[in-house]
A and B are shown apart, each in its own frame.
Chain A
């Protein structure tokens, strides 16, 4: 095996007048640009005229399609639904506008490309590349100019000016940073409290069924079902409803006494009814999938799975800790109530959260 092709890492010179080299026996030399091969439209005027007609036809189709677009806009009522195989039921207006616009645009493009490919010259031409790097003379000249400019400014010599300028330039963006302060409040302990935190054993808060907007009784919650609740007094039209429900949302399950694995968790519940935060401890999605046989609750966003019979322990997925649980009991009228806030902050974990 000869090594003469790879003596160094420099490229071989590409010589466009390769025939000369080839004559000396290099079979791989560059033979130079190939001769132009005429297309049919270059030599047959009838073919060229046919191509011209094809291009024009495409442009005419585009015009017709634009007329169709305007006609569709006028004709079809916006709420008209039509069945189109195999897409199904679609808005007639959207369908006709989209297709006519699509055809109008596509035909312009197809016409232009067909024109370029059949009728415009397809002679390949070489163009020289120009050096990007400046030559040494220019380089020396620019560096000299810069040095002159720098010397005339005295930037290097007058150190006090330089240092104070750097100082002032470094400080002035701070104003911009300070201005961002009122983007939002400080976190303080906001994340540690929910709408349930005003509940006390003396003044409990009723659990309100999310669907019926009524207080709940223990017998409403059957084994195998998943019920959702919010604290009493939180109405949908409240100005901060979204912020509150993002923390207060509750899910209730009843688990047969024999299936309860975690004693502490059972004590927070009432007759096997357990109230967990609905907000996933991973990144805050509401947990909504419940497998009644296994008592597993699954978050549909990232598939964290919690065993609700075992204190909502994480048994699969990316969540880092169990769902917080709310202590519940019944009031004198027999309605389910909470007597305090969750046993730990709800939702995703964060730096200040103590375990």
Chain B
């Protein structure tokens, strides 16, 4: 790399300094084969900005690694078979009970393999945290506008990771073949059967025959440990490469521009901080697994299609789909000797739609705003009131459905009527997101007003001054230049305008429905009532040029 090779081997081809020590010569060796130095040149001291919310993605990465490590360990003991055995292991309450080998081997991991229970618990806890961290990370990216160009593709990679993570979680907790998870697998059978035309075929092919058959656990096992994690690993690597390639976004502030990134270098600061954070996450999850038992499959018993326990709940990330299925009225339509089971099929379709709605948002926003520029400075959520309102509405929908999914728990724990909760969720599904949108938008505007007030009048010092004529006023202190800049660094886009209805010759222009829709939406995003005009230099000058206190 330092010099192109010259003819003949008599003279050394390189003017490179002799390696100072063994480590340097090893690095030289690797460089000669992999191009190590070129790779490290731009990355070893790569700058990352510092903010607590930038750690959320790291939690996802680390829990994913923990899941893979513990998952590999579990495969050494787990037997993904639905062959039946009579249990005679060390967990006495189930002695003599018939169960699948999958369930029996999970009992063995829990009660006979030393440390097996801990690893199982860490695996499950990490999965719970993994999906939660992905969702929160996604919300961070959403509310700060970090999904804007050039990061839309990485947003989609992230979304796919969330989607796949949820399903891999579902399959994972279905593997032990216990009474609770078996009920979830039965639910899936019903959902698949509800698909018009091909439902019964899909069900037979998926389960290898009638429910439950003996194929579903081994098939889930392969998908759970090989297929989905393989795809996720690829997406994860692509996700991280793009983070490195785009360089991280940053908050507005003094010295920070769209053209730079301000922060601390990977080596040593982020190697220590991010590397250390892996151990913090792993440590906390281990401690959780020691203290709080999750998914005690021995208490549920082996799966039998004619048995069930109350309070049957999926893991939290499947809760919103559970809500959909619980609140949907049982509509069945008879069609010429066929049945269209809308009561199950509609929730089955709305479930992905709820997720896709958030996934496509970046593309909708960029279309509505017509913004083709790169954005590396993050928006404060208050400065994008419509986006923030839409995001909050989406979260509220998600939470309403979670309530629907836990209606039985809420009813028994809070002594409420199960029917009332269900009716509330049916109405809330449509109403709560709308209310949330408007409340959040107003809230954002209020915060914008406060920022403007701070910029123009300074911050309250808490010092009360008595004026000569007896009036008491609070002394306001001017914000420092850095703060003034930070509070006014955001842009306030103007809505797209349709061309005038008549051109200069008085001929009516043709404006398509799409263009009209786009202009309307743009008006909704940036038109009247969507932002408080930023303070101007003149306003600031007028107020601060010493006409006393206002």
Contact = CB atoms under 8 A, between A and B. Distances in A.
A284 interface: yes
Nearest to B341: A349
A236 B98 contact: yes
B205 to A, nearest CB: 4
B344 A301 contact: no
Contacts of A107: 283
A27 B484 contact: yes
Most buried by A among B200, B482, B494: B200
B218 interface: no
Given A94-B290, A184-B207, A288-B308, A11 B273 contact: no
B260 A127 contact: yes
A175 interface: no
Contact of A249 (B215, B305, B332): B305
A113 interface: yes
A5 B533 contact: yes
B371 A9 contact: yes
Contacts of B285: 102
B380 interface: no
A4 interface: yes
B7 interface: no
Contact of B482 (A12, A31, A303, A351): A31
B378 interface: no
A87 B338 contact: no
A348 B344 contact: yes
Nearest to A128: B260
Interface in A295-335: 300-304, 314, 316-321
A33 to B, nearest CB: 3
A303 B258 contact: no
A67 interface: no
Interface string A243-255: 1011101000000
A11 B332 CA distance: 54
Contacts of B534: 5-6
A109 B337 contact: no
Nearest to B207: A184
A99 B284 CA distance: 9
A155 interface: no
Interface string A83-127: 000010011011111110111111111111101110011111111
B204 A94 contact: no
B477 interface: no
B272 A283 contact: no
Interface stretch (B158-166, B188-196, B383-391): B188-196
A9 B210 contact: no
Most buried by B among A28, A106, A245: A28
B332 A321 contact: yes
A300 B308 contact: yes
A146 interface: no
A42 B47 CA distance: 21
Contact of B280 (A27, A109, A247, A249): A109
B537 interface: yes
A349 B193 contact: yes
Most buried by B among A12, A97, A351: A351
Interface in B371-428: 371, 373-374, 376-377, 407-408, 418-419, 422
Interface stretch (A46-54, A136-144, A185-193, A265-273): A185-193
Give 5 nearest A-B pairs by CB, closest first: A98-B290, A283-B190, A106-B283, A112-B276, A33-B255
Interface of B: 46-47, 50, 84, 90, 98, 111-112, 114-115, 117-118, 121-122, 150, 183, 186-187, 189-191, 193-201, 203-213, 215, 245-247, 254-265, 268-270, 272-273, 275-293, 303-312, 325-332, 334, 337-341, 343-344, 369-371, 373-374, 376-377, 407-408, 418-419, 422, 455, 481-482, 484-485, 488-489, 491-494, 533-541, 544
Interface of A: 1-2, 4-6, 8-12, 14-16, 18, 22, 25-34, 73, 78-79, 87, 90-91, 93-99, 101-113, 115-117, 120-129, 132, 180, 183-187, 190-191, 210, 228, 230, 236-237, 241-243, 245-247, 249, 278-279, 282-286, 288-289, 300-304, 314, 316-321, 347-355
